[in-house]
Amino acid sequence: MSVAPSRRDRARSWILIAGLAVAAAVLLLVFVLRLSHTTGAKTQLGTDVFVVGKATTFAPKVKATGPLLFADLRAHSRQLNVYVQHVGADPRRGWMAFDAHTPDDVRCLVALDRRTLGLRDCHGHPYPPDGAGLTHYKVTIDPADQVVVDLSQPAA
């Protein structure tokens, strides 16, 4: 003759299962965190190559509204905000990408004045449309007409 588990026994079972699930999640989190801090372990939370979109689509938009601001492009570096700018008449040429912070202070954002389409840093210092004086990144146009920004290292 079998005896059905009581309501109290079922509640204890569910509490035990939930406790084991929480313990497993905590152990998994600790394992991942320790692994990411291990010497030689490579962690990549974002990518160093960013595809903006079709050059022929974005060139007229940039000309009309000013450079496009892309914030926090790499998850492991929350301070990488980048402007993508286009100058000139040819949509496949004249693309550039540059940091939206001043080189000497990552807290000093370079902002776009929508009225004038000019760039100014947090101290009011103006920057030209090509971002001269700011850190630049390599920009290419791939065979599919996509604007591709390489954030792996600043351009020379």
* Model confidence pLDDT, tens digit, residues 80-104: 889 999 999 999 999 999 999 998 8
Average pLDDT, stretch 9-17?
88
Report the distance separating Cα 9 and Cα 32, nearest Å: 35
Burial 58-76 (b: 16+ CB within 10 A, else e): bbeebeeebbbebeebbee
- Same domain, yes or no, for 147 and 82? yes
- Same domain, yes or no, for 56 and 12? no
- Same domain, yes or no, for 107 and 30? no
- Same domain, yes or no, for 59 and 104? yes
Containing structural domain, residue 83: 49-154
Number of structural domains the chain divides into: 2
* Model confidence pLDDT, tens digit, residues 64-78: 999 999 887 655 555
- Same domain, yes or no, for 77 and 150? yes
* Residue recorded with tokens 């807290």: 107
Three-state DSSP at 77 gives: strand
* Model confidence pLDDT, tens digit, residues 45-56: 557 888 999 999
* Of 96, 93, 109, nearest in space to 67 by CA: 96
- Same domain, yes or no, for 113 and 80? yes
Cα 48 to its chain centre, rounded Å, is 9
Report the distance separating Cα 136 and Cα 151, nearest Å: 9
Report the distance separating Cα 149 and Cα 67, nearest Å: 14
- Same domain, yes or no, for 34 and 54? no
41 pLDDT band, cuts 50/70/90, is: very low
